[in-house]
Amino acid sequence: MSTETSTVSASKVLSSSWKIDGLTIKNRFVLSPMAVLQPTKDGSPSEQTIAFLTTRAKGGAGLLIVGGTVATESGYAEAPFQPLMRFDNDRFIPGLKKMVDAVHAYGVPLFAQIFPAFGAMGVPGEGRTTRAASPKPVRMAAPRLPHGMYIPGGRTNPTPEEITREELREVQNETVAAVLRAKAAGFDGIEIGAHMRYLYSSFFSPRTNWRSDEYGGSAENRARFLADTIRAIRAEVGPDYPVGVRMSVNDHLPDGQGPEGFAEVMTYVVKEGVGYIALTDANYESMDDNLPSSSGQMLAHSEPQIFRKYLPNVPLLLSNTYEPQQAAQAIEDGYADGIMLARQLLADPEFPNKVLQGQQEKINWCDHDNSCLRRLILNVPVRCHLNPAMGREAALAGAEESLATKLKRPVDAFVIAAAGSPSLMGLADKLANAKMAKDAKK
């Protein structure tokens, strides 16, 4: 498409179906994985987890990817935040299945982010270090933090140890076992979390991989750990089951690797059967580029364009491209197949429906103040200051009428008590609507 895609054709492009391996997806909107799901303390999906996801399924997303997960016992032990949704033991399968079934009731497929290990982002424990491709610590410099996030003086994480070959095989075996648990629970596909500065990603860039064995040096060697893992997964799940990879595609650091280098690494991995690549900009050391405050940053950096050139046949999921015309244009131009939405779907779960039904004036736009992220780094349940229902979907479940009953308080009193608090006023608004609906029925 040479000229800018119009509103009408944007909704046409974004409502078109597409495929990942053997799975057809009804539209282009994908819930990006986020650790906002409030699983139970022992690592299973909670009623709130299910309500968050079904709210986004109802809101029109074509595919949901579950984030805030961990696939291995050692990954769980080193996790920088809790609780996480766990895939490291068969005992989690029934709980996961209940969640998958609930989402399937809305006709929307659900993928699991299979997250092997935190690498240099892990937290060391008694007698336990963190492990990565090479002993390169993560330095989060204060000027490179996203808007609204403050760490005075920045932060340098503990230096990881070089992971051994035996440990790599252990992580790989546990990762394959976790994929099989996800499949047994009914997930429609999985993605391997190989992004940011987590374990797998530390192999891709010469900046973080100084190894002299068969896992370091050439692009083929730096791809080896992930390529071996994908081959092992494919041998178990067959050719049609969707297996994606989430990866950072640009270090955005003076001594880092650019998109050509990351794309070259991936040319060796896709030979093993990668169903899609979820392109993630930057990493923990360049978080301002990872969580930008406007749409289209990746397209401006040419990362999707370069990945498409190196990998013409692999579906690409694009981050940071929530503006509908821009998203449709990227798909039309062949630089993206799916559009991942994270913060925008916290602020407005109905965003896909509103775009596809031509109701853009009704969208509750994310303002990128990043209150969600501030809560995440403080390890408290994530909320959105623009959407008071976010993170409370289970409490609000069912008819708004039943909410009024549950609170067992007169609506008017609640409105008075809520005055002055934007979050509580949002709830009060829902209660008032519920009361009006109830009164209208009398």
Among 96, 270, 279, 382, the residue binding ligand FMN under the rule CB under 6 A is 382
Q: What are phi and psi of 132, to 5 degrees?
A: -150, 180
- State yes or no: residue 287 binds ligand FMN (CB under 6 A): no
CA angle 189, 296, 341 (to 5 degrees): 35
Amino acid symbol at 340? M
Site stretch for ligand FMN (CB under 6 A), options 30-38, 161-169, 176-184, 310-318: 30-38
Q: Which of residues 105-144 bind ligand FMN (CB under 6 A)?
A: 113
**Closest distance to ligand FMN from the beta carbon of 8 (Å):** 24
Which listed residue (376, 418, 427, 431) binds ligand FMN by CB under 6 A? 376
* Listed ranges 152-160, 317-325, 410-418, 431-439: which one lies at the site for ligand FMN (CB under 6 A): 317-325
Lay out the site mask for ligand FMN across 243-272 (x = CB under 6 A, - = otherwise).
---x--------------------------
- Cα-Cα-Cα-Cα torsion 174, 198, 323, 243, nearest 10 degrees, comes to -20
Which of these, 252, 261, 273, 263, lies nearest to 307 by C-alpha position? 263
**Bridge-partner residues for 131, per DSSP?**
161
Question: What distance in Å separates the CA atoms of residue 304 and residue 393, rounded to the nearest whole number?
Answer: 34
Q: How many helices (H) and strands (E) does the chain have?
A: 17, 16
Of 33-41, 53-61, 116-124, 324-332, the segment contacting ligand FMN by CB under 6 A is: 33-41
* Contact residue for ligand FMN among 373, 396, 403, 434 (CB under 6 A): 373
Between residues 52 and 241, which has the closer beta carbon with respect to ligand FMN?
A: 52
Query: For residues 228-255, b (16+ Cβ closer than 10 Å) or e, as one string?
Result: bbbebbbeebeeebbbbbbbbbbbbbee
Residue 190 contacts ligand FMN per CB under 6 A: no
Choices 180-188, 225-233, 303-311, 316-324 (CB under 6 A): range interacting with ligand FMN: 316-324
Contacts with ligand FMN by CB under 6 A: the residue count is 23
Q: Which of 291, 327, 347, 431 binds ligand FMN (CB under 6 A)?
A: 291
Distances from the Cα of 182 to the Cα of 78, 186, 379, angstroms: 21, 7, 26
Beta strands in 36-151 (DSSP E): 63-66, 69-70, 85-86, 110-114, 131-132, 139-140
Q: Does 319 contact ligand FMN by CB under 6 A? A: yes
Any contact of residue 67 with ligand FMN (CB under 6 A)? yes
Query: Taking CB under 6 A as the rule, does residue 5 contact ligand FMN?
Result: no
Of 152-160, 170-178, 335-343, 416-424, the window that binds ligand FMN (rule: CB under 6 A) is 335-343
Q: How far apart are CA 273 and CA 21, in angstroms?
A: 9
Choose, by CB under 6 A, the member of 20, 35, 427, 428 that binds ligand FMN.
Answer: 35
Q: Does 34 bind ligand FMN (CB under 6 A)?
A: yes
In angstroms, the Cα distances linking 137 to 119, 195, 286 are 10, 15, 14
387 forms part of the interface with ligand FMN (CB under 6 A): no
Q: What's the rounded Cα separation, in Å, for the pair 379 and 385? A: 17
Contact 27, 19 (CB under 8 A): no
* Least distance (Å) between residue 14 CB and ligand FMN: 15
308 binds ligand FMN (CB under 6 A): no
3-state secondary structure of 361: helix
DSSP reduced 3-state for 346:
helix
Q: Would you say 32 or 72 has its CB closer to ligand FMN? A: 32
Tell whether residue 339 is a contact of ligand FMN (CB under 6 A).
no
> Of 160, 168, 117, 158, nearest to 135 (Cα)?
160
Q: Which of 56, 86, 207, 343 binds ligand FMN (CB under 6 A)?
A: 343
Question: Per CB under 6 A, does 32 bind ligand FMN?
Answer: yes
**CA gap 169, 72 in Å, rounded:** 12
Closest distance between ligand FMN and the C-beta of residue 333, in Å?
Answer: 20
Considering the complex, state which of residue 15 and residue 248 has its C-beta at the smaller distance from ligand FMN.
248
Contact flag: residue 36 with ligand FMN (CB under 6 A) = yes
Give CA–CA dist 191/276, Å, rounded.
Answer: 8
Residue from 219, 341, 356, 386 binding ligand FMN (CB under 6 A): 341
Residues that bind ligand FMN (CB under 6 A): 32-36, 67-68, 113, 193, 246, 280, 291, 319-320, 322, 341-344, 372-373, 376, 382
